[in-house]
């Protein structure tokens, strides 16, 4: 049986520029089964789920449910909830956590401040393993369950302490999909050995490009632009590249990417249609999803020295 993930893989659909956009993630542990719209169709109080969705709208915060890999019995046993909040803006990333028996208290959070990078003293800094959040919600798309749940289980069995299942990361056809925190890079078509490599890189403050969909801190053109600069320059340090300007006209973007060392690049990104048509999720009608195509990466003058980062039309050193 053909699936959306199989079709996307066979067509070699590009991954860059396909990550969900969220400057800040609010992750709430909720055991038991999840529905397609998990915030309002799980054992979390649906009124609370709707209130969290409303509070997050327009703030840059994305709310999702998480649970540990394994069997998810349909039980309503009261439990304490692990909560994580992560801000993914480069150079200003943080990951904090707390445990609560009353998730309604999360409505007291200042969501606008969280989206802007101010945690307001929430919880305590997370000092454990980086988080690997594997999308496994088969009620949204069967590929997430068929491919995501075995991956999450394998990683957990291998001793990766930061592995959680998550309700939704977008891009079902790129399953299994993974979000890694605190840096906020999303990955597609992942396997256990590649996730282990990604987590090892995170521990060392590096970013793995293979299979990377982009940083959730940026919109889709920004994601594609940052990854293009990394590919062109070989830069793999996390937190050193920032999107400092974007101009859009007629389906093309001029994105300015800045390095902490003063170098800058202008990246031209064009929106194209993926051909031939394919389903964006299992059972959906055939469509031509938008793709972010990088047309050019041009080094600009170094803001510190005034010297160019490289010859015009190139990525620089």
Sheet hosting strand 241-249, strand order edge to edge: 241-249, 252-259, 264-273, 290-300
Average pLDDT score over residue span 36-50: 94
Calculate the alpha carbon distances from 58 to 38, 111, 255 in Å. Answer: 20, 9, 23
pLDDT per residue as tens digits for the range 79-122: 799 999 999 999 999 999 999 999 999 999 999 999 999 999 99
pLDDT score of 67: 95
What mean pLDDT value characterizes the chain?
Answer: 91
Is residue 64 pLDDT above 60, yes or no?
yes
Domains and CATH numbers, the chain: 4-203 (no CATH), 219-300 (3.10.450)
Q: Sorting pLDDT into bands at 50, 70 and 90, what band is 10?
A: confident
Is residue 263 pLDDT above 90, yes or no?
yes
pLDDT score of 141: 74
Percent helix, strand, coil in the chain, to 5, is 25, 30, 45
Q: Sorting pLDDT into bands at 50, 70 and 90, what band is 77?
A: low
pLDDT score of 137: 87
pLDDT score of 11: 80
Q: Is the peptide bond before 182 cis (omega within 30 degrees of 0)?
A: yes
pTM of the predicted protein model: 0.91
Which DSSP string corresponds to 159-204? T-TTEEEES--S-GGG-S-EEEETTTEEE-S--HHHHHHHHHHHHT
pLDDT score of 72: 65
| Residues 6 or more apart in contact with residue 63 via CB below 8 angstroms | 26, 27, 28, 39, 52, 53, 56
Average pLDDT score over residue span 219-246: 98
Question: Of the spans 33-42, 68-77, 139-148, 194-203, which averages the highest pLDDT?
Answer: 194-203
Residues 165-190, buried b or exposed e (16+ Cβ, 10 A)? bbbbbbbbbbbbbbbbbbbbbbbbbb
pLDDT score of 126: 97
Q: Sorting pLDDT into bands at 50, 70 and 90, what band is 302?
A: low
Q: Sorting pLDDT into bands at 50, 70 and 90, what band is 9?
A: confident
Average pLDDT score over residue span 48-61: 97
Pair 20, 135: CB distance under 8 Å: no
């Amino acid at each position: 049986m053909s699936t959306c993930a199989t079709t996307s893989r066979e067509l070699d659909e590009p991954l860059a520029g396909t990550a969900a956009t969220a400057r800040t993630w609010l992750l709430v542990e909720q055991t038991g089964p999840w529905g397609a719209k998990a915030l309002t169709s799980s054992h979390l109080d649906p009124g609370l789920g709707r209130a969290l969705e409303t509070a997050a709208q327009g703030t840059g915060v994305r709310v999702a449910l998480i649970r540990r890999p394994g069997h998810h019995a349909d039980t309503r046993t009261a439990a304490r909830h692990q909560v994580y909040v992560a801000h993914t803006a480069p150079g200003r990333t943080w990951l904090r956590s707390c445990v609560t028996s009353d998730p309604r208290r999360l409505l007291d959070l200042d969501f606008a401040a969280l989206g802007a990078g101010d945690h307001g003293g929430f919880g305590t800094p997370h000092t454990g393993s980086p988080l690997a959040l594997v999308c496994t919600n088969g009620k949204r798309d069967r590929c997430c369950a068929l491919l995501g749940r075995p991956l999450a289980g394998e990683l957990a069995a291998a001793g990766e302490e930061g592995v959680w299942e998550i309700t939704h990361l977008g891009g079902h056809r790129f399953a299994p999909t993974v979000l890694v925190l605190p840096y906020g890079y999303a990955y597609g078509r992942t396997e256990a050995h590649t996730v282990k490599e990604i987590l090892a890189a995170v521990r060392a403050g590096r970013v793995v490009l293979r299979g990377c969909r982009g940083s959730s801190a940026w919109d889709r053109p920004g994601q594609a632009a940052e990854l293009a600069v990394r590919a062109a320059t070989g830069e793999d340090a996390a937190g050193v590249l920032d999107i400092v300007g974007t101009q859009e006209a007629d389906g093309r973007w001029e994105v300015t990417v800045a390095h902490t060392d003063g170098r800058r690049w202008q990246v031209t990104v064009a929106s194209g249609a993926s051909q031939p048509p394919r389903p964006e999720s299992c059972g959906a009608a055939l469509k031509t999803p938008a793709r972010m195509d990088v047309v050019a990466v041009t080094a600009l003058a170094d803001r510190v020295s005034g010297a160019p980062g490289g010859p015009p039309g190139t990525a620089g050193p």
